[in-house]
Structure 1
Amino acid sequence: MHIALYRKYRPAAFADVVGQEHITHTLQSEVASGNPAHAYLFTGSRGTGKTTCAKILAKALNCRNPQNGDPCGECEVCRGIDDGSVLDVLEIDAASNNGVDNIRDLRDEANFTPAVGKYRVYIIDEAHMLSTGAFNALLKIMEEPPAHVVFILATTEVHKIPATILSRCQRFDFYRIPRDAIASRLEYIAGREGFTVTREAAELIAGLSDGALRDAISLLDLCSSYSREITRDTVLEASGTVGTGHLYDLADAAADGDTAWALAIAGELSRRSMDESRLCEQLIGHYRDLMLTRAVQDPTPLLDTPSLDLQRLRAQSDRYSMERILYSIEVLQEALGRMSRSAERRTELEVTLIKLCDPRLSTRTDALLSRIEKLESALRAGTTLPQAPAAARPAVQEEPELPEIPDFPDAMPVPEQPAPKEKPAARAEAPAPEEQKVLNWREVLDHLEKKNPALAGALVGSSAYRRGGYVLIDCRDDFFLKLMRENDYARECIKQAFLEVNGTRCSIGPYRRPVQEKKEEDPLATFIETLDLPQERVQID
């Protein structure tokens, strides 16, 4: 019967553990000194050796012939722990034994002395899955543990462990295993198993495993079923991964704005049963490499794969602004989150590629900054950018296009009226008679809020007036007046919202209602008016 390679080559001693020397040396010293802690907490990402180190520690503590802190692996205790016949070492899956009753049973058993070894060792895997009651029951025995009991808790989510438990454990953080170390281990296993793996293929497997040696060995086992000579192409075919060339092609298509090319590549990959989520993850990694290449002078130590063609990466990063790279990463991350809930993952991928190729479809700040940077570059080069094709719209009531207002006064000019001699001309307090108030302005703002909430929020409480082909917005302060004068994008958003609600085109401009100066009242005159004085003239002798 075939034994999975990750089980066959599971480390049996601390010296065999890869990439966790900061932990194995400490554990060896504690075992050799004969003073182990009563509780350990192993935390880190999956496949980094937490449970493996826990089992090695359990064997080392009970081994009858330990060698420099390592178990001998030959005594009956070591062999019994390996085959599960020694009851002094108990491994508990907290995901399925997370109740308070399970921990109470464990607490009762812990009081018994070991049967064959020195210690009763309890390995609690996925410890963060324990319930609150179970943690409280475990805390009771961890506060005053018997001298012959050792607890080893392993978890990938240490933030879910109560602080009262953490404070009673020796904590060890397992790092992601370096790619070079994983690649070397894969070459060693391939040599022992009688097949070959190229260094490029080993590095690719190491990169796909994300620092988890167990995942890397499992993928190597899968690739060995395809071919006894494992190359980069073998790994790509076995794992359903997109090659580096396709990632460069997709990034080039996005930089060129060539949506057809990007969708054609996606269609070809889809016919090969490509995993859309994996493609998004790889594109995020590729744009990360582009970001680091632009951000630092020597990005080699930071890049995902050490064998990357740095010259090609620099050439492609020069085609992107930093704003465009950050926009692309955020779009891909959002798409990756939606794919886990979407039934149409290919459609989600195609929508994402269209957004990458044309940032004008987005109103995000980073997309707008990217467009501004592109315009500035074009202006400096003395070139013009092609206009986007106009989208098909339903037929609306057309009005002749009016030129934009070059500059707007603080208030609309009011036609001069001949003033009677006995009264000075009063300053206009309202729009001219030919101006009409836009009665459905609230509806326009509600429609605008769906596309630009910030701008709609700034317009709350405002009013608008229609005068010919213009819609004049009452500006309440200098900031908003300046915004409406200088921000073409804001006026365009309002114009589009007005068009979609009312079906007519217009030009947008600011309007400020003049404030009438309040005449200072004479207190004496006010007092006299309140007196009940006779209306007839009185003769005083």
Structure 2
Amino acid sequence: MYLALYRKYRPASFADVVSQPHVTRTLQNEVSQGKTAHAYLFTGSRGTGKTTCAKILAMAVNCEHPIDGDPCHECESCKAIAEGATLDVMEIDAASNNGVDNIRQLREEANYTPAQCRYRVYIIDEVHMLSDGAFNALLKIMEEPPPHVKFILATTEVHKIPVTILSRCQRFDFHRIRAEDIAKRLLYIADNEPFTLTEDAASLIARLSDGGMRDAISLLDQCASFSNEITAQTVVDAAGVAGRDDLFALTDCVIRADAAGAIEQIGVLYEKAKDLSVLLSELCVHFRNLMLVHTMKDVSAVLTVSPEEEARIKEQASSLPLSSVLSALTQMRETLDQMGKTADRRLLLELCFVRLCTPSLNRDETAMLSRLDRLEATVRTLRETGIPVQTKTPAHTATAPSEYPESKPASLPKQTAEPVQNTPPQAQSSPVIIPETPEAPSEQAQPEQMQSEQTKPEPVQPARVQPAHEILPFAQWDEVLLLLAKTGGPLYGILQSARAFTDGVTIYIDSSSAFAASMFKQEGNAAKFLDAAEQVTGIRYKLRVKGAKAKKAQADPLLDVLKKAQDAGVEIHAES
């Protein structure tokens, strides 16, 4: 009969237990010195060795010839305990035996002396599941136990244990097992089994196990059934998780503010039957790595990734400020909590990424601070590079918000004669003022009237610059886009594929995106673009936007997400 790997390779001595030296060394010394307590409490997360150490301790205290605190595995007691052929060592599941009557029966049996071994050992697993009455019954025998009885309690939720029980036990906290230790153990198992395991695959399994050795070995067993040659791709296919490239791709969508691209990527992973909750958990780990890059000087010792992945993580961290990373982590954790309460996990994940890729939708404090940090970083960068930053627009150059953009995208004006080149910042220090051309006198005007008007002193008029009439490509377009990219906002992603023209007074944007015109209608986007253009050229332009016609709703993944949200009862507010 086939034996699962986690049972086959369960440690048989304290020396085999991984990453718990503070526990194993203490227990070994107590056994070798004959100073074992009557009650122990083992606590920690799943798969860290609590039950394994309890069985080794039960065998060690009853061993006839212990070796440095470890059982010999040769005496009759060790063999009987290992085969489960003795009633002196009992393992009780508190989840199914949590009543008062079960503990009363245990108390009656405990009064009898052991039949074969030196001690009667009761291993109570998941002890926090006992009822209040059962805890009170257990407390009585733990206060004054018979000399031949020892209790070993194991739990993952120590906060549910009454303090009266805790005070009568020696408590040992089991730590999560380090990923590198798990990987070494997996490679050791693979060397003794008829399959191969690469180091990258072992590291990936170790990361997915979240510090639990049992989970890691069980996943290794699953991958071995999938293929005899276990690589990182084998783990991805067998476990149904996203690959590292998918995590980097989704993070790039957040950096570019590309909500449509993120939704398409999620759709591809959904069609491959990837577990979206596991995907979001992996993304949380990935963004945690980005956070560590921002906050730690030597991050190599903390990141359990290859050098190539570490370089990619640092590159992405340089494009996302720490405040944005923290805001994204908060939203991901909230979405992960909500996934356990609904069946439509895809919709929740898509809504999460729409918010991540559209910072203007986020009104919480963390998101607002993130946007302010990006703005301050942009101003700081511009000042360091010597680009003048105008913090306040003069009143006479201010343009009414209603003038850009218009409700309907303006078509490009027809080209006429004389081309006018953009004036460089050194040559023109003040923004361009759009002139109001005076009407010429009509042909019916009397000569006397015209002459009298000519004799009047002309009023002092502000200097005006005549508008250019020929539309030429906007020469500084790439510089403006580069400046917008540093802000991390959505404008850069929308305008990457657009073209820009100017007549010296107005910038005409011709975009193939159906969202271009609506994007500039959002508060502040038009001003942000014109500010960037003014910082590059020194000219305060007007703005006209022409976008492509909107596609059908079912063909646009972003509109599809919003429709799904409305159907699910989520209230959608459109920003004006």
> TM-score normalised to the size of structure 1?
0.70
Assess, with a 3 A threshold, how the Cα gap between structure 1 residues 10 and 240 changes in structure 2: closer, same or farther. Answer: same
SS of the equivalent of 2:192 reads helix
CA drift of 1:306 comes to 6.0
- 1:115 aligns with 115
1:54 to 1:307, Cα distance in 2 relative to 1, 3 A: farther
Change (3 A) 1:112 1:209: same
Amino acid at match of 1:187: L
Mapping for residues 107-506 of structure 1, pairs under 5 Å: 107-305=107-305, 309-379=309-379, 381=382
Q: CA deviation at 1:362?
A: 1.3
Q: 1:49 matched to which residue of 2?
A: 49
Which residue number corresponds to residue 9 of structure 1?
Answer: 9
Q: Distance in 2 between matches of 1:182 and 1:240?
A: 20
Contact 2:203–2:304 (Cα < 8 Å) also in 1: no
The Cα shift of 1:304 comes to 4.5
> In the TM superposition, what is the alpha-carbon distance from 1:290 to its structure 2 partner?
0.6
Q: Structure 2 counterpart of 1:90, which letter?
A: M
Instruction: Provide the rounded CA distance (Å) in 1 between the counterparts of 2:25 and 2:329.
Output: 40
For residues 274 and 112 of structure 1, the distance between their equivalents in structure 2, rounded to whole angstroms, comes to: 55
- 1:20 alignment counterpart: 20
Partners of 1:28 and 1:366 lie apart in 2 by 50
Where structure 2 has 5 or more consecutive residues not aligned to the other structure, the ranges are 391-400, 408-522, 525-575
List alignment gaps of at least 5 residues for structure 1.
393-487, 490-505, 507-541
Report how far residue 370 of structure 1 moved. 2.0
d(CA) in 1 for partners of 2:218, 2:307? 23
Query: What is the CA-CA distance between 1:298 and the residue it aligns to?
Result: 1.4
Q: For residue 302 of structure 1, report the CA deviation from its aligned partner.
A: 2.5
Q: Quick one: distance in 2 between partners of 1:335 and 1:105?
A: 46
**Is the contact between residue 207 and residue 305 of structure 1 (CA under 8 Å) also seen in structure 2?**
no
The letter for the 2-side match of 1:300 is S
- 2:458 — aligned with what? none
2-structure distance, mates of 1:127, 1:64: 29
Separation in 1 of the partners of 2:32 and 2:118?
A: 14
Q: Distance in 1 between matches of 2:308 and 2:300?
A: 8
Aligned partner of 2:70 in structure 1 is 70
- CA displacement 1:99-157 (0-9 Å, x = unmatched): 11111111111111111111000000001111111111111011111111000000001
Q: Corresponding residue for 1:402?
A: none
Verify the 8 A CA contact 1:11 1:17 in the aligned structure 2.
yes
Q: Which residue of 2 aligns with 1:410?
A: none
Q: What is residue 85 of structure 2 aligned with on the other side?
A: 85
- Inter-partner Cα distance in structure 2 for 1:36 and 1:288: 42
Is residue 12–residue 56 contact of structure 1 (8 Å, CA) maintained in 2? yes
Contact preservation (8 Å) 2:303, 2:310? no
Shift of 1:303: 2.4
Measured against aligned partners, the alpha-carbon deviations of 1:432-484 in whole angstroms (never above 9, x if no partner) come to xxxxxxxxxxxxxxxxxxxxxxxxxxxxxxxxxxxxxxxxxxxxxxxxxxxxx
CA contact (8 A) 1:289 1:304 kept: no
Post-superposition offset of 1:378: 4.7
Other structure's SS at 1:368 match? helix
Contact 1:285 1:304 in 2 (8 A): no
Q: Is the 8 A contact 2:179 2:304 kept in 1?
A: no
Aligned residues: 391
Once the two structures are TM-superposed, the CA of residue 218 in structure 1 deviates from its matched residue by 0.4
> By how many angstroms is 1:379 displaced?
5.0
8 Å CA contact 1:179, 1:203 repeated in 2: yes
Distance 1:35 1:377, change over 3 A: closer
Question: Which SS does the other structure have where 1:171 is aligned?
Answer: strand
1:46 and 1:156 in contact (8 A); partners too: yes
Task: Indicate the residue corresponding to 1:524 in structure 2.
Answer: none
- Corresponding residue for residue 477 of structure 2: none
Q: For 1:34 and 1:376, how far apart are their aligned partners in 2?
A: 66
3-state SS of paired residue (2:319): coil
Residues 103 and 134, structure 1, Cα contact 8 Å, conserved in 2: yes
Change (3 A) 1:342 1:303: same
Partner of 2:471: none
- Deviation, 1:341, is 0.5
Asked if 2 retains the 8 angstrom alpha-carbon contact of 1:28 and 1:69, the reply is yes
Q: Which amino acid aligns with 1:38?
A: H
| Range that drifts further, 110-119 or 303-312 | 303-312
CA shift for structure 1 position 301: 2.2
Change (3 A) 1:332 1:308: farther
- Aligned AA for 1:22? H
Q: Report the Cα offset of residue 373 of structure 1.
A: 2.9
CA distance in structure 1 between the aligned counterparts of 2:368 and 2:224, rounded to whole angstroms:
49
8 A contact 1:18–1:177 mirrored in 2: yes
User: In the alignment, residue 159 of structure 2 is paired with which amino acid?
Assistant: H
Q: Which amino acid aligns with 1:334?
A: E
| Contact 1:300 1:306 (8 Å CA) reproduced | no
Aligned mates of 1:266, 1:184 — CA distance in 2:
33
Counterpart residue identity of residue 92, structure 1 = I
Q: CA offsets, 1:237-257, max 9 Å, x none?
A: 111111111111111111111
Report the identity percentage: 56
Distance, in Å, in 2 between the alignment partners of 1:39 and 1:220 is 35
Aligned 8 A contact 2:197 2:229 in 1: yes
SS in 2 for 1:302: coil
Q: 1:378 to 1:70 in 2, by over 3 A?
A: closer
AA at the equivalent of 2:118: K
Q: What is the DSSP-based 3-state SS (H/G/I as helix, E as strand, rest coil) of the residue aligned with 1:318?
A: helix
Q: Which residue of 2 aligns with 1:451?
A: none
Name the amino acid aligned to 1:103.
I
Q: Greater CA radius of gyration, 1 or 2?
A: 1
Change in CA separation of 1:336 and 1:74 when aligned onto 2, cut-off 3 Å? same
Per-residue displacement from partner, 1:28-62 (whole Å, max 9, x unpaired)? 11111122100000011000110011011111111
Match of 1:214, as an amino acid? R
Residues in 2 aligned to 1:221 and 1:307: alpha-carbon distance in whole angstroms: 28
1:141-199 deviation digits (Å, cap 9, x = unpaired): 11111111000000001111111111110111111111111111111111111211011
2:149 maps to a residue whose letter is V
Cα offset for 1:369? 1.8
Contact 2:39-2:152 at 8 Å conserved across structures: yes
Counterpart AA for 1:114: P
SS at match of 2:370: helix
2:177–2:211 CA contact under 8 A, matched in 1: yes
User: What's the RMSD between the two structures over aligned residues?
Assistant: 2.1
TM-score by length of 2: 0.65
Q: Distance in 2 between matches of 1:230 and 1:46?
A: 25
Residue 114 of structure 1 aligns to a residue whose secondary structure is coil
Residue in 2 that maps onto 1:32: 32
What is the alpha-carbon distance in structure 2 between the residues aligned to residue 90 and residue 104 of structure 1? Answer: 15
- Conserved? CA contact 1:38–1:151, under 8 Å: yes
Shift of 1:63: 1.5
CA distance change for structure 1 residues 318 and 96 in 2, over 3 Å: closer, same or farther? same
1:377 Cα deviation (Å)? 4.3
Cα distance 1:308–1:66, how it changes in 2: closer, same or farther (>3 A)? farther
Q: CA deviation at 1:70?
A: 1.1
User: What are the superposed Cα offsets for residues 252-280 of structure 1, whole Å, 9 maximum, x if unpaired?
Assistant: 11111111111111111111101110111
Match of 1:432 in 2: none
User: Quick one: higher RCO (CA 8 Å, sep 6+), 1 or 2?
Assistant: 2
CA distance in 1, matches of 2:155, 2:119: 22
